[in-house]
Amino acid sequence: MAIEFTKYHGLGNDFILIDNRSSEKPILTPEQAVKWCDRHFGIGADGVIFALPGQNGTDYTMRIFNSDGSEPEMCGNGIRCLAAFLSDLEGMSRTKNYYRIHTLAGVITPQLAVDGVKVDMGLPRLLAGEIPTTLAPADAKVINQPLEVAGKTWDVTCVSMGNPHCITFVEDVAAISLESIGPQFEHHPVFPQRTNTEFIEVVSRDYLKMRVWERGAGITLACGTGACASLVAGVLNDKCDRTATIELPGGPLEIQWSEVDQRIYMTGPAERVFTGKY
């Protein structure tokens, strides 16, 4: 049976979107998602995202499989793509410019704006037990703490945006050999759920450069949850302001950690590329 899909990307972080509104369960298995994401033998993507019926009074539910078939709790660039996809699906019947989306990281609210999609990403979580990491006692934060990886000591800060992130500030992001170091962070025994890994170069207090090694997807051109987590890490280490531009290989994201409600707001693009049947 042929299944319809639409390809979207947010700053080159690309996803296959599937209209799964008529059933509670993703219509693909994780194994199928791995095949669809293959860039040589499939469609090619960093993940597959399913638009499912809402739960607990939300408009829709998002589920995502990484390109390795694992299921993350949240996906920042992906939820902007989902909002654009839902708006396209609803077409003229769309009644509002935001969606309340049920995710494994809680309710996330993307809002359609003229310059892209602005997402209320919720509260960052900072306790070691919430990340999760064994780098500190479960009720302590991990801020600028030494971690031994690849024979070197890195000073890391850990933040959860629903999914785990390990952030390191470096002099020069271009000099990091992500392909070799990334997997060693991802699979380090102090991260029982593995981790996404971000390297950050501070250009100024409102401009950071980031490169990312994603859990379950490897090097990607952008990571929305990673950009949010990195801004939080920057504020905790007094390296940046609460509002900053994060430049990723695929382009910039605007991130704000609100002083009013302590929530994280992310603004960035979401673009449809093509539709097809598989």
On whether the CB atoms of residues 96 and 79 are closer than 8 A, the answer is no
Verify whether residue 228 is a known catalytic residue.
Answer: no
Beta bridge partners of 201: 209
CA distance linking residue 109 with residue 85, whole number of Å:
14
Residue 74 neighbours by CB under 8 Å, 6+ apart: 103, 104, 105, 108, 121, 161, 162, 163, 225
Residues 35-74 that bind ligand ZDP (CB under 6 A): 66, 72
Nearer to ligand ZDP, 78 or 110 (CB): 78
Of positions 20, 109, 220, 230, contacts ligand ZDP by CB under 6 A: 220
Among positions 7, 9, 13, 82, the unique one binding ligand ZDP when judged by CB under 6 A: 13
Nearer to ligand ZDP, 119 or 236 (CB): 119
As a whole number of Å, the end-to-end CA separation of the chain is 8
CA 104, CA 114: separation in Å to the nearest integer?
28
- Report which of 255, 109, 105 is spatially closest to residue 193, judged by C-alpha positions: 105
Q: Does 163 help bind ligand ZDP (rule: CB under 6 A)?
A: yes
Amino acid at 186: E
Minimum distance, C-beta of residue 47 to ligand ZDP, in the bound complex (Å): 6
For 173, residues 6+ apart whose C-beta sits below 8 A from its C-beta are: 199, 200, 201, 209, 210, 211
Q: Minimum distance from CB of 220 to ligand ZDP (Å)?
A: 6
What minimum distance in Å lies between the beta carbon of 151 and ligand ZDP?
A: 26
Of residues 276, 241, 270, the one with CA closest to residue 84: 270
Total chain residues near ligand ZDP (CB under 6 A): 17
Catalytic option among 37, 75, 166, 240: 75
Catalytic residue among 37, 158, 166, 223: 223
Among the listed ranges 108-116, 119-127, 145-153, 211-219, the one in contact with ligand ZDP (CB under 6 A) is 211-219
With binding defined as CB under 6 A, does residue 103 bind ligand ZDP? no
- Give the residue, chosen from 37, 63, 78, 188, that forms a contact with ligand ZDP under the rule CB under 6 A: 78
Per CB under 6 A, residues contacting ligand ZDP are 13, 66, 72, 75-78, 163, 196, 214-217, 220, 223-225
